[in-house]
Amino acid sequence: MSINYLSEMLCDKSEGINRRNIMQKVMKINHDEKERRPATRCPALARGAVTCLRNFRTDFLEEWPTPGTGPHFDTSMPSNFTGLVGNTVDLVCKVKNLGNRTVSWVRHRDIHLLTVGRYTYTSDQRFEAKHSPHTEEWKLIIRYPQRKDTGYYECQISTTPPIGHPVYLTIVEPETIIVGAPDLFVNKGSTINLTCLVKYAPDPPPTMIWRHNSEDINFDSPRGGVSLVTEKGKETSSRLMIQNAVSSDSGVYTCKPSNANPSSIRVHIIKAN
């Protein structure tokens, strides 16, 4: 079955686009594959053909006997996923008692059918369906995700009526924040206390550089009273402290992690009342 064939089916304006229409088309696709595929893959031998057909239906169409209860989602699976810009992310749903039904992934933003079973039906090659035979997990793989990929996706089962399990994907990128930005007012003679936070980085930044008016801060300068405390983890923090603030300490302070964009704050030294 070609991509063009599926596109023509999904773009029939006279039917409208909704979950029921999509799943009816998915069921037709699944039926067509059942009718056509076994004959092309199995040799025309009496006993061998039967065995081959059974193996094909089990391994490829994911069919096995349906227990007493119908197909349903494992609701203990997470419904919120977070990914980093550029880093592959997996959306997962778990379906129990699938029987001869089909699992699909749909993007809510544009009601776009992305996958049917283990087929991928989109021209965007970043998306891929993934499923291991005889397991309950069905994955939607998104490679090189961007912020525009944030939103709802739905894992659907081709029952009548169809049932779905929506999940929400948030795509973030490393972010650097200086608490109190863009301006901080400090009394002359008191301590300048600046805290820089690095969020959503895949790893803690190897280095954190602080600059004052575009020059690296020298912690061993004769001025003294300048210290830095950095704590690395899922969220890295770096605290710059400058004691006994004077007028020359005014200006722009920049925190520059080695694996994220820099952030700046303007410090104003004022006379105490």
Strand partners, 140: 91, 129
Task: Write down the CATH number for the domain with range 3-56+69-172.
Answer: 2.60.40.10
Higher pLDDT, 193 or 15: 193
pLDDT tens, 113-122?
Answer: 999 999 998 9
Pick the CATH number of 175-270 from 3.40.50.300, 2.60.40.10, 3.40.630.30, 1.20.58.1030: 2.60.40.10
Mean pLDDT of all residues in 149-171: 96
Give the span between the Cα atoms of 59 and 48, in whole angstroms. 16
Q: Which segments of the chain does DSSP mark as H helices, in order? A: 3-10, 19-41, 46-59
The rounded radius of gyration (Å) of the Cα atoms in the chain is 28
Structure token digits, residue 97: 């008692």
Give the span between the Cα atoms of 211 and 256, in whole angstroms. 8
pLDDT tens, 125-134?
Answer: 999 999 999 9
Strand partners, 183: 266
Report pTM: 0.63
Q: What is the mean pLDDT of the chain?
A: 82
Give the span between the Cα atoms of 34 and 13, in whole angstroms. 27
Give the span between the Cα atoms of 125 and 109, in whole angstroms. 18
Residue whose pair of structure tokens reads 């003294």 in the numeric block: 224
The ranges of the chain annotated as CATH 2.60.40.10 are 3-56+69-172, 175-270
What pLDDT was estimated at residue 221? 87
